[in-house]
Structure 1
């Protein structure tokens, strides 16, 4: 299924600046974010209820594709440039959007496997800060998060902490200011949303990012690939 979706997206008219999801799928939201990224969110009738896809674009085109379930868990993610696919496996403590909303905090612990390799373990939490932010007319709740990803032998692979935003309306996470460490020290990142467009609104289905692009292209550290940047912004992840 994911291979078919990816091929359909890559073959679509994205170069013209309009996002067309695969057959049987429907776009419901386009988000322009800081850090020169635009994301198109869509749902597919063949998926379990509550599953959502997100296609991320930078100035050169689509670079990242991911699917989350109704609880905001990363089911699978695809680094388009590298050709790697990461999938969710065993969950000792599944992430839960519902628990975050009801209790104000959600702890999680689960395994991820990349291209069938030995799984890594992710542990972390999301917690509501009690603060809200109105961005482009949408009221979002702010969260704080922290997570780490380790190899089976306990070797720390990467970690991140910071703030994000959630929308109860769309049951989605959106990135915020954070710090990410892939083994060389923490780096600041901010992929916060700036503009939301639903069907019929200006900017809907756009594939051209419009915020911070010149600054990001000239200053993003070489050690942080665009796909890695996407993985560390916007949801229960790495």
Structure 2
């Protein structure tokens, strides 16, 4: 999952980064950097060529970008690279709906995903507002409960995630939180990718290419594979 592989997959490759910073692809503008637990920094950006409401995110570890994803205004998983391109299948059985989650307190979803290598899968689950709110680095976020399962086309479980995440209704984004992930072997592994710092244009640390938190912790969580970060908020 190294950066040179992923960048080669992107339709609009990112421009070379300056020392210590990440640069958005041509025609795109970054609007937020988030430093999270688990030695991960994420940059959020929008591109002129996309549909209104579409938002991109790139995740970086200490070696560089390892995951790109795009969601639409309803939080649907439109496109991702890890490094293989994966896209949302047309006509989902139960489309994800950010609007329904915020208005009704719960949203169920069931949809298909297809990778560029021809393999496919099905994702099912729900997001539910718990009624609790948290202030993280001055930003008020609503907590959700999430339950996610991805199956292959034969019905075998590929991975499962459950736990809590965070949403900001104004931003129409999900942020990771504490939970557990099963990569298909029946073993539930704890993980916490909660945001710790929000950085905006003009502030120190905006577009930094180095994660700040947990990078030197010699724990099992620090050594978990990147696939564990693919919870509900990451297509």
Report the RMSD for the aligned CA atoms in angstroms: 1.8
Q: Tell me how far 1:229 sits from its aligned partner.
A: 2.6
User: Which string of whole-angstrom CA distances, capped at 9 and with x for unpartnered residues, describes residues 182-210 of structure 1?
Assistant: 12310000000000011111211111100
Residue in 2 that maps onto 1:102: 103
Residue in 1 that maps onto 2:69: 66
Residue in 2 that maps onto 1:195: 197
Residue in 2 that maps onto 1:12: 16
> Structure 1: which 5+ residue stretches go unaligned?
none
SS in 1 for 2:217: helix
> Structure 2: which 5+ residue stretches go unaligned?
1-7
C-alpha contact 1:64 1:230 (8 A) present in aligned 2: no
Aligned residues: 226
**Could you tell me how far apart the structure 1 residues matched to 2:33 and 2:169 are?**
17
Q: Tell me how far 1:3 sits from its aligned partner.
A: 2.3
User: Are residues 221 and 182 of structure 1, via their aligned partners in 2, closer, same or farther at CA, if it must alter by over 3 Å?
Assistant: farther
Of residues 30, 33, 50, the one that matches 2:33 is: 30
**Could you tell me how far apart the structure 1 residues matched to 2:197 and 2:63 are?**
20
Residue in 2 that maps onto 1:207: 209
Aligned 1:65-214 pairs, distance under 5 A? 65-79=68-82, 83-90=83-90, 91-184=92-185, 185-214=187-216
SS in 1 for 2:142: strand
User: Which string of whole-angstrom CA distances, capped at 9 and with x for unpartnered residues, describes residues 6-52 of structure 1?
Assistant: xx32x5215x1212111111000000000000000000011000001
> Which structure: greater helix fraction?
1
Q: Tell me how far 1:4 sits from its aligned partner.
A: 2.9
Residue in 1 that maps onto 2:58: 55
C-alpha contact 2:9 2:85 (8 A) present in aligned 1: no
**Could you tell me how far apart the structure 1 residues matched to 2:114 and 2:166 are?**
26
Name segments (4+ residues, structure 1) moved above 3 Å.
none
TM-score by length of 2: 0.91
User: Which string of whole-angstrom CA distances, capped at 9 and with x for unpartnered residues, describes residues 80-118 of structure 1?
Assistant: xxx311111141000011110000000000001122424
**Could you tell me how far apart the structure 2 residues matched to 1:17 and 1:29 are?**
16
C-alpha contact 2:33 2:42 (8 A) present in aligned 1: yes
**Could you tell me how far apart the structure 1 residues matched to 2:78 and 2:229 are?**
15
C-alpha contact 2:161 2:179 (8 A) present in aligned 1: yes
Residue in 1 that maps onto 2:4: none
**Could you tell me how far apart the structure 2 residues matched to 1:4 and 1:18 are?**
21
